[in-house]
């Protein structure tokens, strides 16, 4: 794509923004990031804080992205960069180049990034080099697994951020342990709690189960898409065997709303899914809330789903060797492909010894974040 014409979707804001005044840029790259920043965007609008919304399209499926925006009742991003897939270096470089142009064009004063994707890192690096203030939502999460690209993104982004919105006390302590000044850290709670609370009522109105062969409360829910799980044929098959084992032990079918990446790899590897696993097309956010809320147990390799399962008080098996969400471990069993660990999880499930708390927040994280952004903008105006 000609880099001069990368701004394929520039939309006018609902209200005029005086670009001579400081402006906030909200940068996302994936659907989970859209979900988690949506409550912040609502708060910015409520406070009439000038902002622009940028989507790198790091992971982009037109239908799924549009469904998410519709479910969240969000306007389309002001800028869609269409960087698409690629190596980490190619993807990060494209995002940096394109975000830099927007920062110059719109005179961005504060860049807000979220999470741990290549978009997060690229945005933070770009802003820092332009001497633009960087604010990181979901700062301080650590898996301590340096094989994960996301762990590298988290560490570097936190190191160069000016304001770090830590979702939990554990995240705050991780940052302090790394030598980050405590004055730069604000414990806000996790915006995923805000998002769930704001949309659960709407989700309950969906006819999610109308065309499904499973009934509420009588299935296990699976989400699996991480590269280390689905890009390796041997690991992929081993995980499917493990999931089938869990299904048989609990005598419940597994419902799998399949991620585009996983579907592509299934086809490429010519893998036949066991009959215990019911594959359906990927679903929107509201339908996913319904599927999560009505599952007996959740199996996932997603960080966001770990949080949502914990908030919804659902037993959880994480199909990874580590987690950056230790707050969930009273109800979250990290098993990778270890059958013994799965058996321990199932024993706890049957013995009803799983516990949930409120460590992830009170649903007011977005309000705290928006209030701080408003304060920072006011300081820049004077």
- Cite the active site residues: 225
Both structure tokens of 59: 């992971």
**Spatial CB neighbours of 295, under 8 Å, sequence gap ≥ 6:** 217, 219, 220, 221, 255, 314
Q: Pick from 382, 258, 239: which is nearest to 321 by CA?
A: 239
307 phi and psi angles, rounded to 5 deg:
-65, -45
* HEC assignment per residue over 329-352: CCCEEECCCCHHHHHHHHHHHHHC
Of the candidates 193, 206, 192, 197, which has an alpha carbon nearest to the alpha carbon of residue 290? 206
From the number of C-beta atoms within 10 Å of its C-beta (0-12, 13-18, 19+), residue 273 rates as middle
Residue written as token pair 């006390």? 169
Q: Give the integer Cα–Cα distance in Å for 231 and 202.
A: 35
Rg of the chain over CA atoms, in angstroms? 21
In order, the DSSP letters of 51-66 are EEEEE--SS--HHHHH
Length of the chain: 382
C-alpha pair distances (Å), 110 with each of 25, 55, 127, 377: 6, 16, 8, 8
């Amino acid at each position: 794509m000609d880099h001069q014409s990368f701004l394929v979707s520039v939309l006018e804001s609902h209200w005029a923004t005086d670009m001579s005044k400081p402006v906030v840029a909200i940068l996302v790259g994936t659907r989970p990031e859209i979900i988690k920043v949506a409550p912040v965007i609502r708060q910015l609008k409520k406070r009439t804080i000038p902002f622009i919304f940028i989507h790198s399209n790091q992971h982009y499926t037109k239908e799924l992205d549009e469904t998410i925006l519709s479910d969240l009742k969000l306007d389309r991003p002001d800028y869609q960069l269409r960087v698409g897939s690629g190596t980490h270096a190619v993807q990060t470089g494209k995002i940096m180049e394109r975000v830099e142009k927007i920062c110059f064009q719109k005179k961005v004063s504060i860049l807000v990034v979220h999470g741990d994707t290549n978009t997060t890192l690229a945005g933070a690096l770009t802003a820092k080099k332009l001497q633009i203030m960087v604010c990181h939502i979901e700062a301080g999460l650590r898996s301590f697994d340096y094989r994960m690209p996301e762990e590298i993104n988290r560490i570097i982004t936190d190191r160069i951020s000016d304001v770090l919105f830590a979702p939990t006390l554990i995240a705050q302590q991780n940052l302090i342990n790394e030598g980050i000044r405590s004055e730069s850290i604000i414990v806000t709670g996790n915006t995923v709690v805000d998002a769930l609370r704001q949309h659960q009522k709407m989700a309950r109105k969906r006819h999610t189960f109308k065309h499904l062969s499973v009934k509420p409360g009588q299935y296990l829910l699976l989400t699996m898409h991480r590269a280390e799980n689905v890009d390796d044929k041997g690991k992929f098959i081993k995980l499917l065997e493990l999931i089938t084992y869990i299904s048989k032990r609990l005598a419940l079918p597994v419902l799998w709303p399949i991620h585009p990446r996983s579907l592509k790899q299934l086809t490429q590897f010519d893998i036949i899914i066991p009959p215990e696993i019911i594959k359906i097309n990927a679903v929107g956010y509201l339908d996913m809330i319904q599927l999560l809320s009505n599952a007996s147990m959740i199996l996932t390799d997603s960080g966001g789903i770990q949080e949502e399962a914990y908030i919804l008080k659902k037993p959880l098996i994480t199909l990874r060797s580590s987690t950056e969400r230790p707050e969930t471990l009273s109800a979250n069993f990290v098993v990778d492909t270890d059958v013994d660990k799965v058996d321990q999880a199932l024993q706890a499930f049957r013995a009803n010894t799983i516990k949930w708390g409120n460590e992830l927040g009170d649903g007011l994280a977005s309000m705290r974040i928006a209030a701080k952004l408003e304060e920072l903008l006011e300081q820049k105006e004077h």
